[in-house]
Structure 1
Amino acid sequence: MTAEPTTLASWTRALRKQLDALGLDSAALCQAAGLEPSLLDDPNARCPLSITTRLWQLAVEASGDPALGLKTSQFVSPTTFHALGYALVASSSLREMFERIVRYHRVVSDALELELRECADCYEFRFRVPPGSPPPAAEALDAFAAIYVRSCRNRLGRDFAPLAVHLQRAAPMDAQPWHAVFRAPLFFAAPENLLRFPRAAFEQRLDDGNPELAEHNETVLKRTLEQLQHATWTHKVRACLEAQLPDGEPSAERIAQTLHLSLRSLQRHLADEGLNYESLLADTRQRLALQHMRDPRCSISEIAYLLGFADTSSFSRAFKRWTGQAPSLYRETLKPGHPGST
């Protein structure tokens, strides 16, 4: 069985910026979706697809805007997509850029399969849900499609437009926002998600390409992909724990279910990486506890809640076991001017 897909937290941070721009309480919406907002501050953190899909649903409900995904794409920058963003900016043609997107997209998300196909007079770029995997929110797919088109315009100019846009999502009541973004023939309820681009534009040499910079970032991307492939289960379990701890301490059975695994398979995967569930739970809690303690806005009782402890005293005992200090004393050492502060 396959594990639940995950996406870089920085991508979800773009949605949070959009919500803040609308005057909505993005932190409350994250928590309602089961996502700890502070997780989005870690550029290397990954969020389970089920959590991000729930956040998109809540965001659309709160904003009342079915075109939210299109607008969120405006808050995406090269850093949103790790080293991939800079490799794309340095690419010497749109074809080279999209070849890198296909090659390294798993660094950003493994929720989709991507394909670039060369045709007689055009290039077709497909993004599909892997067989047996849950689909991302339709608004997230809108955002991805808009980002790809915006990336082309950033390199060729604002007048660039694809030849056609096919989206599997149902047709919206008002398609005007989609027409405004893509400026191309639109096909909703399509058999597949597909962007069709003019061949000449895709093969045009770009003056601002930088092969050396692109190669440097590819080195980072290759290393990141290797890390993801060799430590996937640890990272996936950590992401699930961080998402579910505010609802109480999750059992190994519950985490296994979230990852679409049997309990025995989960235990075997972690054992292969030299870990067990109990040690990973404790380590994740300790790391989050130290992170939350540095936020003066977060009370000790709130931290206990966020880490899934039944009460503050249980958290205090665990914290003293980890650090040798009670939470209140440890927080004192963090205050400016204290001999133990950094």
Structure 2
Amino acid sequence: MPALHDTAQASVSASLTQAILHAAGRLGLERQALLSACGLGESQLADPDARVPFTAQEALWCALSARLQHPEPGLLLGCNLTPGPFSVLNYLLQSSATLGDALNAAQRYQRLVGEGGELRVEQQDDRLTLLYSPLHPQHPATRMRVLAMMACWVRMMAPLLDDFHLLGVQFRHAAPSDLAPYRSVFACPLRFAAADYAIALPRALGDAPLIPANPPLQQLLRQHAEALLARLPSASLSARVIGLLGEQLAHGEPDRAQLARALHLSERTLQRRLAEEGCSYQQLLADTRRQLAERYLREGRLPAAEIALLLGYSEPSVFFRAFRQWTGLTPGEYRAQQASDA
């Protein structure tokens, strides 16, 4: 996550912007008028992995606030926001094994959705708290934007757990005269004029299994998310290479020339710039394979032969030899050791 004062380069995903516009359409607002109000064109939103300036999306929120007749237009829009079809991160969260795993992924990949603030997850006593610090706390659009996000979080999490409920929510702004919209969405104690926006859950829910959990799918989605994260401008070249390797590995042995083209570099320039960062392509490939292998063995139940395919090995035996060189153990011995330690 970039520093919260770094506003010039902040961006958000085109997919989230599309989701906001779809929600506005369901509420009867005219799409083209909203696009004109924030200075965006359809071509900027055609690629779901594209980025748009955060300032443009703030203008969109202002336009929405002016057009929606509701005591809290952010809560209204958040209850109509369905980011699923537009967000890799949403699919990644839903396929996680537990809510805790999903929240860890949300923290790591939050920049894929946008750079309008920072999400933190804290555990204390019997509470699991999601805190959000917005990039521009005093901006006229922030209240609506964050309320929409919080309402959307609640609507996304509720169907994933059998016993989902909130212990409390808090907001930076003062208490409004009409609390009914808040009570309808959150159904828990409310606190206003707080230091942060926050949602508190029972800590035990962190270990609760998610109903649609799909660990094999999540592994593939993580690889794609790493690749998307690597493409964001602030990442180092080595981090971008690691992300692209993670995406390519699931399709076989990575192609260095193809990877260089994806970064708009020649192979020679790629090698030189990696050397300047103190690493090499082959080193990053080996390190990426080892880290992914250890994570797959530690977190999931995929057979070692399937893990070999996910790491781009044509034969499981090649993976077994490489893993023994890395760790001194076979994949089976490593998995047993991790289970014993746990």
Native 8 Å contact 1:11 1:76 kept in 2: no
- The answer to whether residue 13 in structure 2 is matched with residue 16 in structure 1 is no
1:160 aligned partner: 164
Native 8 Å contact 1:27 1:37 kept in 2: no
Native 8 Å contact 2:132 2:198 kept in 1: yes
Shift of 1:108: 0.8
Unpaired runs of 5+ in structure 1?
A: 233-272, 275-342
Cα-to-partner distance string for 1:148-200 (whole Å, 9 max, x where unaligned): 2122202114x632111011134334221121111111112211111111011
Return 172-181 or 204-213, whichever deviates more. 204-213
1:216 aligned partner: 220
2:119 aligned partner: 114
Native 8 Å contact 1:7 1:49 kept in 2: yes
Tell me, in whole angstroms, the C-alpha distance in 1 between the residues paired with 2:140 and 2:132. Answer: 11
Cα-to-partner distance string for 1:117-150 (whole Å, 9 max, x where unaligned): 1112111111113599978621110111112212
Native 8 Å contact 1:67 1:177 kept in 2: yes
Native 8 Å contact 2:16 2:83 kept in 1: no
Cα-to-partner distance string for 1:195-249 (whole Å, 9 max, x where unaligned): 11101122123353221111110111111111114689xxxxxxxxxxxxxxxxx
Native 8 Å contact 1:88 1:97 kept in 2: yes
Instruction: Tell me the secondary structure at the aligned position of residue 75 of structure 1.
Output: coil
1:228 aligned partner: 232
Native 8 Å contact 2:14 2:47 kept in 1: yes
- The answer to whether residue 57 in structure 2 is matched with residue 52 in structure 1 is yes
Q: Which one-letter code corresponds to 1:79 in the other structure?
A: P
Tell me, in whole angstroms, the C-alpha distance in 1 between the residues paired with 2:137 and 2:22. Answer: 31
Is the alpha carbon distance of 1:205 and 1:29 closer, same or farther for their aligned partners in structure 2, counting shifts above 3 Å? closer
Matches within 5 A, 1:73-152: 73=78, 74-81=80-87, 83-130=88-135, 137-152=142-157
Tell me, in whole angstroms, the C-alpha distance in 1 between the residues paired with 2:98 and 2:13. Answer: 26
Tell me, in whole angstroms, the C-alpha distance in 1 between the residues paired with 2:136 and 2:19. Answer: 27
Instruction: Tell me the secondary structure at the aligned position of residue 140 of structure 1.
Output: helix
Native 8 Å contact 2:94 2:210 kept in 1: no
Q: Which one-letter code corresponds to 1:198 in the other structure?
A: P
Is the alpha carbon distance of 1:4 and 1:155 closer, same or farther for their aligned partners in structure 2, counting shifts above 3 Å? same
Is the alpha carbon distance of 1:184 and 1:221 closer, same or farther for their aligned partners in structure 2, counting shifts above 3 Å? same
Unpaired runs of 5+ in structure 2?
A: 237-263, 266-342
Q: Which one-letter code corresponds to 2:24 in the other structure?
A: L
Is the alpha carbon distance of 1:62 and 1:180 closer, same or farther for their aligned partners in structure 2, counting shifts above 3 Å? same
Native 8 Å contact 1:149 1:161 kept in 2: no
Native 8 Å contact 2:166 2:199 kept in 1: yes
Q: How many residues align?
A: 233
Shift of 1:8: 1.0
2:184 aligned partner: 180
Instruction: Tell me the secondary structure at the aligned position of residue 151 of structure 2.
Output: helix
Identity value in percent: 30
Where relative contact order (Cα < 8 A, 6+ residues apart) is larger, the structure is: 1
Instruction: Tell me the secondary structure at the aligned position of residue 145 of structure 2.
Output: helix
Cα-to-partner distance string for 1:277-336 (whole Å, 9 max, x where unaligned): xxxxxxxxxxxxxxxxxxxxxxxxxxxxxxxxxxxxxxxxxxxxxxxxxxxxxxxxxxxx
Tell me, in whole angstroms, the C-alpha distance in 2 between the residues paired with 1:49 and 1:198. Answer: 33
Return 103-112 or 21-30, whichever deviates more. 21-30
The root-mean-square deviation of aligned C-alpha atoms, in Å, is: 2.7
Native 8 Å contact 1:168 1:189 kept in 2: yes
Tell me, in whole angstroms, the C-alpha distance in 2 between the residues paired with 1:39 and 1:129. Answer: 24
Is the alpha carbon distance of 1:134 and 1:62 closer, same or farther for their aligned partners in structure 2, counting shifts above 3 Å? closer
Native 8 Å contact 1:9 1:47 kept in 2: yes
Question: Given the two structures, how large is their TM-score scaled by the length of structure 2?
Answer: 0.62
Is the alpha carbon distance of 1:95 and 1:136 closer, same or farther for their aligned partners in structure 2, counting shifts above 3 Å? farther
Question: Given the two structures, how large is their TM-score scaled by the length of structure 1?
Answer: 0.62
1:201 aligned partner: 205
Native 8 Å contact 1:33 1:55 kept in 2: yes
